[in-house]
Amino acid sequence: MSIKSIPCPIGLMMIGISILLSACLSRQMEPPAPDPTCQGVAIIEGSDNTNEPGIVTTDHRLFYQPCYEKVLSQVLKDAPQKPLVLFVHGRGEHPSKLVEDKLLEGLEKYDVLPIGFTWPSWCKSWCFPEENAYQSADELAVLLKVLEGIRANEVGNRPYTILTHSMGSLVLSKIEPLPRFIDHVVISASASAHQGHSQWIDQIGLGKRIYVVANQPDSTLRRLEGNGIGSLFFDETDRLGRWAVERATPQNIGQRALYFGFKGRLGNKHRYYINQQGIVGAFYQSVLTGQQPNFLEFEEVIPGRVYVPRAN
């Protein structure tokens, strides 16, 4: 995505302030050091931003590719049959944001085993790290290959789900198709463009339950669309997570996904996959544990394809 031209002198002054703040506050991790015993890097509030993709476990430790198999084998062994949720976060100062905002802890409340996939998701306060997201897809593919090998040797049938938030969907969009062992994909508050999304969603793979979850008043995605102050920095691109599903037609949706719009139930929230009550909380409780949502609580906009909550 390109940064829009900004009128002077106010625009230049705002960019200057943003650059200065980013330079002072944004810190990058050193390149990964060898970790032959796979002890990982402890992540705390204020930890440096990662320059390399990796995984974060619920004990707030960061591991890189050479340790994926060893770490994940042990983590899964310690939580037999608990549904696994591979969480791909969005834009922000990660991995410390996972800790500061208790994102993995929020997912644990669904009685699942969350593993965070972290990627270089921060550049400056005014930019959109689109290329970083796309370039991280190769590392996500490596991680999925490791999980596929572990799953092949597991006893039982634990559900494996991928949950993306915001820009996490851009990482996912470059993996086609997903390995067969992934049972469910939940695309929440997607920052991907609505136009053309059906092409990559339909290539995710057969036999998988794919959920696209939107909140049309989402204020964060609204800024990315160039509304309000966002008009100074970002191009006007309709975002999938802020799309009004009520306007769905068979021509503007994917053929293999189910769409759920929660307008009127979430205010202008952007992060709604955790810490929710009522129909929204029940929806995520179901889909993240490998179950179907309670369709009786929803009205069909397009039968069998697009849903909104029933009126109270």
pLDDT tens, residue by residue, 171-198: 999 997 888 899 999 999 999 999 999 9
d(CA 307, CA 238) in angstroms, rounded, equals 20
Contacts of 113 (CB under 8 A, 6+ apart): 58, 75, 76, 79, 82, 83, 84, 85
The pLDDT of residue 24 is above 50: no
Q: pLDDT tens for residues 201-213?
A: 998 876 689 999 9
Alpha-carbon distance 154 to 157, whole Å? Answer: 8
pLDDT at 234 over 50: no
Percent of the chain with pLDDT over 90: 69
Query: How much is the pLDDT for 197?
Result: 94
**Average pLDDT score over the chain:** 86
Judge whether residue 50 has pLDDT over 90: no
Query: What are the tens digits of pLDDT across the range 101-137?
Result: 999 999 999 999 999 999 998 877 667 789 999 999 9
Q: Are 293 and 209 in contact (CB under 8 A)?
A: no
Instruction: Report the share of the chain in percent with pLDDT over 70.
Output: 84
Mean pLDDT of 18-36: 55
Look at residue 49 in the predicted model and tell me its pLDDT.
86
CA 297, 299, 302, 304 torsion-angle sign: positive
In this prediction, residue 30 has a pLDDT band, given cuts at 50, 70 and 90, of: low
- Integer-rounded Cα Rg, in Å, for the chain is 19
The position carrying tokens 């990559």 is: 200
Structure confidence at residue 229 as a pLDDT band (50, 70, 90): very low
pLDDT for 127 equals 76
Look at residues 199, 201, 157, 198 and name the one whose alpha carbon lies nearest to residue 181. Answer: 157
pLDDT at 263 over 90: yes
Across 208-219, average pLDDT = 94
pLDDT at 21: 42
CB 148 within 8 A of CB 181: yes
Give the residue with greater pLDDT, 122 vs 265: 265
**What's the first-to-final CA gap in the chain, in angstroms?**
40
Which amino acid, 148? Answer: E
User: Residue 5: is its pLDDT beyond 80?
Assistant: no
Domains, the chain, in order of start with CATH, read: 10-309 (3.40.50)
Which of 16-30, 39-53, 184-198, 212-226 shows the lowest per-residue confidence on average (mean pLDDT)? 16-30
pLDDT for residue 68: 97
